[in-house]
A and B are shown apart, each in its own frame.
Chain A
Amino acid sequence: MSNNSKTPLDDVLEFIHSKKDKSIGDSIVSTIYQNAETISKSVTTVDDKRKVKWDEKIDNILTSKITGYPIMLLLLGIIFWITIEGANYPSQLLSDFFFSLEDKITGIFNYMNAPDWLHGILVLGIYRTLGWVVSVMLPPMAIFFPMFTLLEDLGYLPRVAFNLDNMFRKSGTHGKQALTMSMGFGCNAAGVIACRIIDSPRERLIAIITNNFVPCNGRFPILISLSMIFIGGIVASQYSSLLASLSIVFMVLIGIYVTLIVSKILSKTILKGVPSSFTLELPPYRKPQIGSILVRSLLDRTIFVLGRAVIVAAPAGAVTWLVANITIGDVSILNHVAGFLNPFGELLGLDGFILMAFILGLPANEIVLPILIMSYMSKGAMLELESLDSLKNLLLNNGWNIITAINFMLFSLLHFPCATTLLTIRKETNSTKWALFTFLLTTSVAIIVTFIINSLANLIGIF
């Protein structure tokens, strides 16, 4: 065959260009629509005998400009409240179980005359981290996910997207970003993959870069436990769960707000463009299938996330134990690095150990808190967490106050994505540059926000 630069198809194209005018395309499309209309009209009869159209009534309330947002926040708040109230007791049971088992394991190590360092790495490092991750994360997830999946199954999430759609378009991005953002509540890596549903490369990038600003379930436990300790603790105990739930809702709102602001800034600067339009269809409400909700939320999500956390937490626990126990001079490596980071941490209302924990927690957000606790312990291993009170005392003894807690939550909300998400971003955008950009952007936002909060607090003189 000849390799003519002009293919036979180019001839066809030339012919079409000579004949074509814009109205042809419109005419083709509208002819198809007219045909569909004619056929459907001639075969369909509608005789709606229902006195009340429930679905329309419900939609009017759930997506109304006045009641839409309050209902959304209320539902979110209720879910968090049930999660907090319900997770306490099973968390306690699990942690009792893990730590009573630890004594037995230590006994076995002693019996076998195992060296101290081996016991340190395996039991104080790996086992305790695992015990912590499982007892703190499993109960909230086992409650939170089924409820979230229930809302998804009922058809509520598309209504959320519908409510948020307008705000995203005002930010110069695609309305579908409301959906990908919602996915991010489960897992940011999943949220980033979900951005495939956005066609425009510009809007897709914005959605990918900003997905991390909503807390994934690796970060919810941090928000939940810290808001219970520091914010719920402000008021009398019967109101503390309520106030804690409210503060988590507030954190989520901050995350969404930052998402919108950063999206807007990106769409006005390096990713300029006009938002493309799309029609978001509200699917009908469906009766949820309870069995499949449980299977999906418990097996597909809870066990999956927990499994991932465990896989990452085990080596991280070992590494943390090592850096906390290997000393250079008289000071452990951990203390060296924390001391180096401390001045910067204090600028943000945090400290060197906290920054260190976030850095070591890069593989998975789930382990940030366990690492921090381990670092605070003098012997370099995590404490036996008998209750959240002992966690509170530990934090207070290390100089925490409410600003530290708020900034810790904010930093967790806004800082760099976990390694999995970063790798996913690289894969989805096919460029290391955008993964790196996301890393720098989110970290800068976290630093700026915590710095401002801390400066304000210093200025007002709260502490």
Chain B
Amino acid sequence: MGLTSQSSGLSLLKAKFNIQRKSESQIVIALAGNPNTGKSTLFNHLTGLNQHTGNWPGKTVANAQGTFTYKDKEFLLVDLPGTYSILASSVEEEVARDFICFGNPNLTIVITDATCLERNLNLALQVMEITDNVIVCLNLMDEAERKGIYIDLKKLQEFLGVPVIPTVAKDGKGVDELLEVIHQFTENKLELKPYKVKYEESIETLVTQIEEKLTPIISDIFNTRWIGLRLLDGDEKILSTINSIINDSYEGGIDDE
């Protein structure tokens, strides 16, 4: 995966998302999820910030950010707006998508609603297309239980290829387990092999062709497969974002020479 360039990610963090890491050692975690899955509640649990949480969609429009420390590691947590997808058909989706893709967080936690897994997995699958560094939280386990919904966690984890942690964010249940998994990630002890969606033959061929063209230009910064898919999907706005980023790094290149 080509998401390695720290410099471009960092400058974008600063400029577009108004987020600044205190130090290189601080680990940036993005928190993504559908609206009303308890994202802000989990955010508050982790950071201890008493952010206002209201019970309706579209509450977090700008990014909320907070820090926390666990086992001597410092984390910067970014609460993304709640979205059902990140195919960028709305402002919230664009903010969430741009942050996960271009903001270059070290880790993305996708928080899902156990009572309607299918719709929530949509987002999880889309995030896992962009980055390998994903952890899935299965929240609202208590409500699911009340509704008689049972989820085979082990099987789900095998399917997704990333850790799946059951939580009840409002009571803080599962938060310790989540912190432990985050810690393992920082120690490189997690094996992350996220499930990748396979498309029909003709699309896969096209994507491969596009990737070949993209690779010499942007492969060191971006996930070419994902960008290719977005371009095929008709999202050309993404190119202007890419352009502005590579123009910055081009200038940097001149200075080095």
Contact = CB atoms under 8 A, between A and B. Distances in A.
B117 A281 contact: no
B203 A1 contact: no
A45 B236 CA distance: 40
A22 B87 CA distance: 16
A43 B253 contact: no
B6 interface: no
B239 A9 contact: yes
Taking chain A's interface residues, is the majority helix, strand, or loop, or is none over half, making it mixed? helix
B interface, size bucket: 35 or more
Nearest to A35: B197
Interface residues of A, number: 55
Contact of A16 (B160, B231, B242): B231
Nearest to A31: B199
B2 interface: no
B90 A9 contact: no
B214 interface: yes
B47 to A, nearest CB: 16
Contacts of B231: 12-13, 16
Nearest to A289: B170
B155 interface: yes
Nearest to A151: B55
B56 A179 contact: yes
Interface stretch (A128-136, A154-162, A438-446): A154-162
A22 B234 CA distance: 8
Interface string A1-24: 100000111011101100110101
A161 B155 CA distance: 38
Contact of B148 (A16, A27, A48): A48
Contacts of B58: 176, 179, 197
B71 interface: no
B2 to A, nearest CB: 16
Given A36-B122, A283-B56, A29 B233 contact: yes
Contact of B253 (A1, A29, A33): A1
Interface string B46-60: 000000101111110
Given A36-B118, A158-B56, A286-B55, 20 more contacts: A9-B239, A16-B210, A22-B234, A24-B203, A33-B122, A39-B195, A40-B118, A40-B121, A43-B117, A43-B156, A43-B159, A44-B152, A46-B147, A152-B55, A157-B54, A197-B61, A283-B55, A283-B56, A284-B115, A296-B52
